[in-house]
Amino acid sequence: MTALDVVFALFASTAAAGALLAVTSRHVVHAALWLVLALGSLAGVYLVLAAEVVALVQVLVYVGAVVVLVLFALMLTRAPIGVRADLDAAPGRRRVAAVAGLATSALIGGTLLAAIGSTAEVPAGDGTASALGSATFTGWVLPFELLSVLLLAALVAAIAISRGRDADTPGLDDLAPGGTADRADPGAGSAAPAPAAAPAPATPAAPSRAVGPDGTS
Amino acid sequence: MSLLAQGVLAAENPVADFGNDNGWVVFGKALFIFVFLVLLTLLTIWGERRVVARMQSRPGPNRVGPFGLIQGLADGVKLALKEDVIPKAVDKLVFVLAPIISAITCFVAFSVIPFGPAARIPFTDIVTPLQLTDLPVAVLFVLAVAAVGVYGIVLAGWSSGSTYPLLGGLRSSAQVISYEIAMGLALISVFLYAGSMSTSSIVAAQEHGVVREIFGLDLTMPAWFAVQLPVAFVIYVIAMVGETNRAPFDLPEAEGELVGGFHTEYSSLKFALFFLAEYINMITVSAIATTLFLGGWRAPWPLSAIGGGMLNEGWWPMLWFIGKLLGFIFFFIWLRGTLPRLRYDQFMRFGWKVLIPVALVWIVAVACWRAANSATIAADGTTRIVLIAVGIALLFAIFGALITGIDRADRRDAARHETPPDEVDPFAGGFPVPPLPGQRLIRSNGIGNGRDDDARRPALAAAGEADEEVHGG
């Protein structure tokens, strides 16, 4: 065992423990934080394997963006602090999920062991930005582009779902924080000033009735 | 019109050599960075209060020490002596963790910032770069650390168990992640030009001006990336103000709306950590801007020519670096003294609909420009002309799309907002609202607020009932 092996084992077991805690925690925000631990340790694993770019991108994308967005959504919808009872799935489903998870791990682990063997050298210089870039844009360019199309499809689908069926329902523009369509302010983006920029969305919604004869002044 | 090659690409790896560093040197550098940042924070707080005061025609703090210099220290001691309140409703562990995350990450980012080239440590023979460390992916490291720093804000907002911090935390994190994208995109063109993500290599890449022959004249372009890549520089500077939650983008701390934002519930040293983190973040983004766009520690142009580059060696560069850094900090303070705060939706729209698209177009343009100047294409005149024509056509198409898009959005807005009624009852909704421009006020004293049972009753009778709402009037 070299020192690198020890560090690798530490990171790997932390990642596994974090992942387990993330799915067993009854506290939504804590689950998200355990996920941060799992993903961050995974970045450590990459670093031990001399893939520094991948490690940093892992931190940047997963820790810095994905889980922050998860937390963001949690804060918007389930902000109260405390344990929630309605997080658990039915026991049967939990068992099926555990089996599926174990099977996937066995499949991937088995494939790796069969393909590489129990030990493998970490090739030097494969983790640099230029090596990664040329690999991505030569041999792996088709999977890379396919993934981009997949992400694009996901984006389009998300917009389509949030827009609803017909054009009259409020769309993404109106729902998103800082949505623009409803606020009449021309803002920095547009050149032509919109007429009657409202200082606040303050137009009274209720029909303003004049004082009736039976009302006092 | 022949455009010369862009100069030899710097190596991807750092040019700084850390081979001579022993443990003591590394420790000393780390200590120096820590002390430097804390002292600079104290100075920045003092400077900010003095400068803003001068801009507002008042003296500012001038009692503690000469020119009030010790004021920051006095405030720090006062903060540390306050009672550390932990409210009952908080999630304790996360509540304590949040300021620590904030404070640690802001220090860590500074470890890859070069203060100067290799210099001899006084009274020893050790020659070492004035930089704690460097990586081939140093700038990516800074971005990753900043991304982790967001957790301090998010978790502080959430774990306080209180509404205003939650809203402040939400705003803050939305703001930081939105502007981080624009920031990262602005840096990409620097990577393209420097050929590296290591900070010392990027500084090295700004050493020599590029000689370009434009209309028969040999012009030496200044080497700073701020001049070579002006759009990226402007985007970065705007994004860095957004990223640090500073005025005019200080919406997370909008006092009138959110009390103190995400740190409303924090007191004593924990609050001091957030305060420290905010100022160090400001210093960090300024240092990155200096390193990536203003030539880092390199002396500015007329000075760099003195004595055959004498001022670019030894300990001099630290002076230029700190000078440029202070320039950015003054810029931050200036902005705060000058600009009013943006409204939240304006701010988000500006980030997503202006900064990010412009940054994307700029990256494509820079990549095309570099490709067009590469050896194979530059040699072939026809290909070049065709490419340039395509590029110009693309630009027109983009602008056309932009203008029609804005037109359509305006028309949609106009269709959606039917003209407001001529007269408005300011109390129709039960609470006072101001009239729109051109509207006439009518008073109903709360009668006619849409609730029929109330509306039919005289106000005096209604006031006598159990329903004690006061509508004013």
Residue range B47-94, pLDDT digits in tens: 888 999 988 888 888 888 788 888 888 888 888 888 888 888 788 888
Q: pTM of this prediction?
A: 0.76
pLDDT number for residue A63: 87
B/e letters for A151-187, b = 16+ CB within 10 Å, e = fewer, are eeeeeeeeeeeebeeeeeeebebeeeebbbbebbbbb
Range A196-201, long-range pairs (CB < 8 A, 24+ positions): A196/B417, A196/B419, A196/B420, A196/B436, A196/B437, A196/B438, A198/B417, A198/B436, A199/B434, A199/B436, A200/B433, A200/B434
Q: Inform me whether the pLDDT recorded for B36 exceeds 80.
A: yes
- pLDDT for A129 equals 80
Name the minimum distance, in Å, from the CA of A113 to any CA of chain B.
Answer: 31
pLDDT the model gives residue A94: 85
Using an 8 Å CB-CB cutoff, list chain A residues near B90.
Answer: 81
Most B CBs within 10 A among A155, A159, A180, A182, hence the mutation to make, goes to A180
How far is residue B309's CA from residue A36's CA, in Å, rounded to a whole number?
A: 48
pLDDT, tens digit, 9 for 90 and up, residues B210-230: 666 666 666 666 778 887 888
Residues in B touching A186 (Cβ below 8 Å) = 410
B336 in Cβ contact with B209 (< 8 Å): no
Nearest CB to A211: which of B407, B412, B444?
B444
Q: How far is B72 from chain A (nearest CA, A)?
A: 32
pLDDT in tens, A55-66: 888 888 888 888
**How many structural domains are present in chain A?**
1
Say whether B147 and A59 touch across the interface (CB within 8 A). Answer: yes
A13 part of a folded domain:
yes
Smallest Cβ distance to B429: which of A206, A209, A210? A206
Q: Return the residue in B133, B417, B442 with the most chain A beta carbons within 10 A, the one to mutate for interface testing.
A: B417
Chain A's closest residue to B448, CA to CA, is A209
Could you tell me which residue, B385 or B100, shows the higher pLDDT?
Answer: B100
Alpha-carbon distance B304 to nearest alpha carbon in chain A (angstroms): 32
For B276-326, what is each residue's pLDDT tens digit? 888 998 999 999 999 999 888 887 777 766 666 677 777 888 888 899 999
Q: What is the pLDDT of residues B347-400, one digit of tens each?
A: 888 888 888 888 888 898 888 878 777 766 666 677 778 877 888 888 888 888
pLDDT for residue A153 is more than 60: yes
Mean pLDDT for the stretch of residues B17-34: 83
Q: What is the radius of gyration, based on Cα positions, of chain A?
A: 26
Q: Do A200 and B173 touch (CB under 8 A)?
A: no
Closest residue in chain A to residue B344, using alpha carbons only: A178
Residue B104: count of CB within 10 angstroms of its CB: 15
Q: What is the pLDDT of residues A2-37, one digit of tens each?
A: 888 899 899 999 999 999 898 888 888 888 889 999
Asked if residue B237 lies in contact with residue B248, where contact means CB atoms within 8 angstroms, the answer is no
Q: Do B344 and A195 touch (CB under 8 A)?
A: no
Q: Please state the three-class secondary structure of B134-173 as a single string.
A: CCCCHHHHHHHHHHHHHHHHHHHHHHCCCHHHHHHHHHHH
Q: Do A178 and B459 touch (CB under 8 A)?
A: no
Task: List chain B residues with CB under 8 Å of A190.
Answer: 406, 409-410
CB contacts of A171 in chain B (<8 Å) are none
- The pLDDT of residue B121 is 80
Residue A7 lies in a domain: yes
A33, A189, A209: residue with CB nearest B353: A189
Among B164, B190, B345, the strongest candidate for a mutation testing the A interface, having the largest count of A CBs within 10 A, is: B345
Question: What's residue A209's pLDDT?
Answer: 40
Lowest mean pLDDT among B102-106, B165-169, B301-305: B301-305
Q: Which residues of A touch B346 (CB under 8 A)?
A: 185, 187-188
Q: Chain A to chain B, count of Cβ pairs less than 8 Å apart?
A: 198
Q: Which residues of A are less than 8 Å from B445 in CB distance? A: 211, 215-217
Give the pLDDT confidence of A132-151 residue by residue, as tens digits: 888 888 889 999 999 999 99
Tell me which amino acid residue A26 is: R
Q: Give me the pLDDT at residue B389, please.
A: 84
> Residue B246: helix, strand or coil by DSSP?
coil
Residue A174 to chain B, least CA–CA distance (Å): 11
Asked whether the beta carbons of residue A75 and residue B345 sit closer than 8 angstroms, the reply is no
Work out the mean pLDDT of chain B and round it to a whole number.
Answer: 79
- The answer to whether B333 touches B47, Cβ cutoff 8 Å, is yes
B437: CB partners within 8 A, 6+ apart? A196
Beta strands in A59-129 (DSSP E): none
Q: Could you tell me the pLDDT band of residue B254, with boundaries at 50, 70 and 90?
A: low
Using the beta-carbon criterion (under 8 Å), do A189 and B345 form an inter-chain contact?
A: no
Report whether pLDDT(B16) > 80: no
Quickly state the pLDDT bin for B205 (edges 50, 70, 90).
confident
Q: Do B177 and A69 touch (CB under 8 A)?
A: yes
- pLDDT, one tens digit per residue, over B435-448 is 777 777 776 665 55
CA distance A188 to A167: 26
Query: Residue A71 belongs to what domain range?
Result: 1-81+138-163
User: Residue A82's pLDDT band (boundaries 50, 70, 90)?
Assistant: low
Residue A109 lies in a domain: no
Instruction: Give pLDDT, residue B441.
Output: 76
Geometric angle at alpha carbon B349, from B151 and B257, rounded to 5°: 60
Condensed to tens digits (0 to 9), the pLDDT of residues A156-210 reads 998 888 887 655 545 444 444 444 444 434 433 333 333 433 344 433 444 434 4
Least confident of A71-80, B142-151, B252-261: B252-261
- Domain membership of residue A172 (yes or no) is no
Instruction: Report pLDDT for A146.
Output: 94
Confidence of residue A216 (pLDDT cuts 50, 70, 90): very low
List, in sequence order, every beta strand (DSSP E) within B100-253.
116-120, 127-130, 210-214, 217-221
Using alpha carbons, select from A102, A206, A139, A189 the residue that is nearest to residue B345: A189
Interface test with A, best of B154, B419, B422 (most A CBs within 10 A): B154
0.90 surpassed by complex ipTM: no
Report yes or no on A121 lying in a domain. Answer: no
pLDDT of residue B358: 87
Question: A142 in a domain, yes or no?
Answer: yes
Nearest CA in chain A to B11: A130
CATH number, domain containing residue A63: 1.20.120.1200
A149: closest CA of chain B, how far (Å): 18
| Range with the largest mean pLDDT of A68-72, B7-11, B109-113, B401-405 | B109-113
Residues A56, B413: C-beta atoms closer than 8 Å: no
